[in-house]
Amino acid sequence: MNASMTTVNKVQKTTSTIFAVMLISMVGYFIFWGLGYTHYNSPVLFILATLFGVFMAFNIGGNDVANSFGTSVGAGTLTVPQALGVAAIFEVSGAVIAGGEVTKTIRSGIVDLGTLHIVPHDFVFVMMAALLAAALWLLFATYKGLPVSTTHSIIGGIMGAALTLGFIISSGDSNTWDIVQWNKIAEIAVSWVLSPLLGGMLAYVLFRLIKVYVLDYNTDVELKLKEIKKEKKQFKEQYKLRFDALPEKEKLEAASAMAQDAQIFSDRESAEEELEFESEYYRTLYEFEKRRQSLSIYKALQSWVPIISSLGLMMIVAMLLFKGLNNLNLGLTALHNSLIVFMAGALVWMATYIYARTLKRKDLGKSTFIIFSWMQVFTASGFAFSHGANDIANAIGPFAAIMDVLRTGEIGDTAGIPPIVMITFGIALVVGLWFIGKEVIKTIGTNLAEMHPASGFAAELSAATVVMLASLMGLPVSSTHILVGAVLGIGMVNRNANWRLMKPIGMAWVITLPSAACLGAIIFLVLRTIF
């Protein structure tokens, strides 16, 4: 035991060293490249901005990515290193492939900086303060194991820094408050209730159906199989005692009949055949076999699971096409996307059905675990790709704006994002998951509710579905809050939801924006004073 623990510790230390070296090397190379890209304008500011941006991406990995993979780890589908591997591939791929050629600088999203007559360096200070403020708040929340919204964190940081700048420029004019889009802040407040509610409702309904028509059905079948197996064992023991008590002549006759029946019993194709046996022994065994076959042991795996897996993958593909790959401008119409979604659904239905047909005479519980494990890996991968394509912008968006201002000396409406930025920040994302993500993974995966591959799949699929539909409808939701709600929905079905843990989590949601805003204001003042 001690030897195995020592080996695990050595592997973890080696992995940690590799990731640390990889991140430091990548950031070093990026700074070297970036200084040339920005024409060596304000090199100290650029280096600081890079460190702040990478630190923000690191903490997004530790909190946002960690809560995305918490259900997979908690269900036992993936280990932490495996989750890291999936995250590394799909998060970075999402950021690089679909992160967007151009991103807005958030000049008029939450705060309208266009109403302020600001110099470019003040704009840079606002974005730098926002990045560091959001990163520090995320680090604190992650340390406490609290899943919070990275989007709300960066919005709070920008709001606090921008308001501080506004009051400095306007000398305390009360109209400065008008630069904040308070209707958007109200939408964020609504999302504190709307996001977990929608996630919880859908997860409850979906997992309830899976539990009733698959898990409970299989449990009932397994209990009946155990009962049949127990009766069969008792019959064999009793028959042996009766057989041993028979006279020698009757023993020979019974043994001869059993020998003939054994061949017939082994050559039968199914228990549905009408066969006649000479011996009482095989007549009774045949009845046991008929009872066993009448249970339709693999009915749920062959009927319901292919449909569930098909609908699940269709939603993941839809999320990738309509949300994850939306920035690529592939030229696909809604009809094209819909046909791709239905084709993917049909292929997965056939694959799952064929696989389920091969599971005859295999352990039902293990078979169910394996199928839902595969399904959960697919949903986690799709969710990771979409997350990399969208939420990494919380770090890259402000940083790209900073880099563009330093390069051109002007505040533009949009800022180009070179691929090397995506790669560097994507690596920081994964390294953050490895180093500080374990507490949030534990909160989502085990502390809020117990997870099984089926329930983990239901939670991830529900969260992905709500994120997808909310994005299309323009509803103000948070993917983090949705997933927490989905896990609680699962807990309500299983009656093991940890409502006590929701008190600190809910409090963290409410104070995320004002906390980040206060930090943003302080950091902005420090930066403006120093530079």
Predicted confidence (pLDDT) per residue in 208-265, tens digit: 999 999 999 988 988 998 999 999 999 998 988 888 888 888 888 888 888 888 888 7
pLDDT tens readout for residues 6-21: 766 787 788 889 999 9
- Rg (Cα) of the chain, in Å, rounded? 30
pLDDT of residue 293: 80
Segment 62-66 mean pLDDT: 83
Residue 416's DSSP bridge partners are 102
Q: What is the pLDDT of residue 107?
A: 46
Summarize pLDDT for 307-316 with one digit per residue, the tens. Answer: 998 988 888 8
pLDDT at 489 over 90: yes
Q: What is the pLDDT of residue 523?
A: 97
CB atoms within 10 A of CB 180: 18
Q: Provide the residue count of the chain.
A: 531
Whole-angstrom CA distances from 88 to 94, 388, 431, 444 are: 10, 10, 9, 20
- Summarised one tens digit per residue, pLDDT across range 365-376 is 788 888 888 888
- Match 């199914």 to its residue by tokens: 270
> Can you give the pLDDT at residue 253?
83
| Model pLDDT, residue 56 | 95
Concatenate the DSSP letters of all residues of 16-59 into one string. Answer: HHHHHHHHHHHHHHHHHHHHHHTTTSSHHHHHHHHHHHHHHHHH
Q: Which of 122-126, 225-229, 344-348, 438-442 comes out lowest in average pLDDT?
A: 438-442
What are 417-471's pLDDT values in tens digits?
788 888 898 889 889 988 898 888 888 888 888 888 899 899 988 888 887 777 7
Can you spell out the DSSP letters for 61-84? IIIIIHHHHHHHHHTTSS-HHHHH
Q: Is 173 strand, coil or helix?
A: coil
CA separation (Å) from 270 to 223, 226, 287? 22, 20, 12
pLDDT over 90, % of the chain: 31
CA dist 238 and 63 (Å) reads 61
The predicted pLDDT at position 35 comes to: 94
User: What does the pLDDT look like over 466-488, one tens digit per residue?
Assistant: 877 777 776 667 788 988 999 99
Residues 6+ apart with CB under 8 A from 397: 103, 104, 105, 106, 154
pLDDT computed for residue 105 by the predictor: 42
Nearest partner of 289 among 238, 247, 328, 231, judged by Cα: 231
- pLDDT given at position 413: 65
Q: Which burial class, exposed, middle or buried, applies to 177 when counting CB atoms under 10 A from its CB (0-12, 13-18, 19+)?
A: exposed
Full-model pTM: 0.84
- Name the maximum alpha-carbon separation found in the chain: 115
Mean pLDDT of 281-301: 85
pLDDT, position 79: 81
As a whole number, the mean pLDDT across the chain is 84
Q: Over 90: is that where the pLDDT of 201 sits?
A: yes
Cα-based angle 83, 86, 91 (whole degrees, multiple of 5): 115
Closest among 504, 513, 485 to 194, alpha carbons compared: 485
Tell me what the mean pLDDT of segment 341-348 comes to.
91
